[in-house]
Amino acid sequence: MCGLTGWIAYDRDLTLGGDTAEAMTRTLECRGPDDGGIWLTRHAALGHRRLSIIDLENGRQPMHAVPGDDGQPVLVYTGEVYNFRELREELSALGHEFRTASDTEVVLHAYLEWGEEFAERLNGMYALAIWDPRTEELLLVRDRMGVKPLYYYPTADGVLFGSEPKSILAHPEAEAVVDAEGLAEIFAIINTPGHAVFKGMREVVPGTSVRFSRSGSTTRTYWTLQARPHTDDLDTTIATVRELLEDIIERQLIADVKVGTLLSGGLDSSAVTALAAKVLRDQGSDERITAFSVDFKDHGETFRDNGIWMDPDTPYAVDVAKHSGAEHIIVELENHDILDEDVRAAVLRAQDLPVSTGDMEHSLHHLCKALKERVTVALSGEAADEIFGGYNWFFDEEAVNGDTFPWYDAWRRLGGLDTIKDIGLWDRLGLEEYVKRRYAESLEAVPRLAGDSRHEERMKELTWLNIMHWEKFLLDRKDRISMSTSLEVRVPFTDHRLVEYVYNVPWEMKNFDGREKSLLRAAAAHVLPQSVLERKKSPYPSTQDIEYVTALRAKVEALLAEGSPVLRLVPREGIQRLLDRPLEEYSALGGLWGTRAVMERLVEFNAWALAYKVRIEL
């Protein structure tokens, strides 16, 4: 829901900065096509674009604590607070009066009542900015798991901020510069919390607030994962996870617009879809949940088991829809859909960064566009793999006993690391040292419990690394691409109550029957068909058509053209070595990690550097 942006300047009069504030806000129209607003005062300019989800007629922003009183706090807000009804009742009992039915107004009154500590009371996905004229301070707050993005860019006399980098870069004082550290973040896919890739720009770390005043800025952490003893037995643990999921999904179905789900046929999205259908039935609703899937033309006939993608998704998605009574819509794509230059440009513009999982991003764009034709909100299954332990590396002894981010092991085995080294990029950017440093920093922050065995401690380390780094990448991708089509995606598995509980469940319980995500399977068994309960994990679908790879190779060949920005990083002979490899090496097996993934990232980086006029500093 929505997009926000703004500009604080203590040494100038921003009532004269309307054109700049308008330009910054205009970049976020896709995030909020329904309404927009700008508010200017001497030292603050706030902009907002609204995607109307709750209280469609009201809730316009920027929102004043007291209508018409510029001397009281003003809020711009994006996201959803799922416990806003309970908070509204509590605040009403404390004497607060409300003029709308929106969660936005509840958030603003929560700030008035509890100050900066109000964030600890919120359950949801959100990013917000509050300008308080009483103290001339700006407060930026981001949700615990970082579902909603929020960036800032300090200036000589204040700060720029926004939901996406593009809103900040629309300001003449912000430059699109990337240095060696930013390049390492792009090509190593570290996703360091707080790092925004662009030099001088920062990301509000999930679970924190940042306060800006004339004297500078201060950061406050209001939430982080904690290690706690788990005393529940297995049956109680399964029941608790089930109860949490049903409560979470019931809350996340609340909207004044139509809600659907993203359904791949895997355990995570199937559980979300089936539980959403159950909640509607239990409420006595005649409405059926609408589930959307993506597939490639002729995928069923031509699909090949390559060890990562072992079976096509569609048959399982169909089983779930039938079993739960969901309306099911399959979005079928062909090569020209994911190779379309307008689509590729739209995806790049949505993300503001070149980090790429290739055709998966482009097919996700098509899927979200199809959803937006029928619904405004969709529930998705992201984050289950990270908290329940679903990835292969949780079960691979070499990865478990490794000394780096676990996905690097997958990258190495499928040839991606060798390819980056072979073309000269690894040493050019000093990736070895950078990855080691970031890995060591992250391990230092892992919440630990005295008395844990070394194996239990290591599994918590892997879970932490996945939540703090890999999940961040997936959540960012889903937010940018969905919001570029004006679709709000909600992520039930990021509810902090569930994350806190499952993080502390011993690994032997999470994996009690020797399969990935045993705990989630058991918790959702009452609503899922047997086919899905027995299915082994499969990643988001990726095309296996050789014609796509041939077209991708042609794009890599075009990188040899004079003036290609990527030639600042990779020598021509390195790209030529990539082109000289046999075509079969670019198969779907490496779509995420192998040679094909490297090709995708080089192509995307070049397009990004050109489109954003990036200055590379090495």
Dist CA 511 CA 515 (whole Å): 6
Segment holding 341, helix H or strand E: helix 341-351
467: left (phi over 0), alpha (psi -120 to 50) or beta: alpha
Decide if 86 contacts 122 (C-beta within 8 A).
no
2 is a catalytic site residue: yes
The number of beta carbons lying within 10 Å of the beta carbon of residue 530 is 10
Strand-pair partners of 66: none
Strand locations in 190-251, DSSP E?
Answer: 202-203, 208-213, 216-221
Strand locations in 10-51, DSSP E?
Answer: 35-40, 44-50
- Dihedral pair phi/psi, residue 452, rounded to 5°: -65, 145
Long-range contacts of 342-350 (CB under 8 A, 24+ apart): 344/607, 345/607, 345/611, 346/484, 347/481, 347/484, 348/604, 348/607, 348/608, 348/611, 349/166, 349/484, 349/611, 350/30, 350/480, 350/481, 350/483, 350/484
Q: 1, 2, 8, 249: which is the annotated catalytic residue? A: 2
List the Cα angle 132/138/140 in 5-degree steps: 125
Buried b or exposed e, range 563-583, using 16+ CB within 10 angstroms: ebbbbebbeeebbeebeeeee
Cβ contacts of residue 128 below 8 Å, gap of 6+?
4, 75, 76, 77, 78, 79, 107, 140, 141, 150
The residue written with tokens 């069923």 in the block is: 300
Strand-pair partners of 76: 129
Catalytic residues: 2
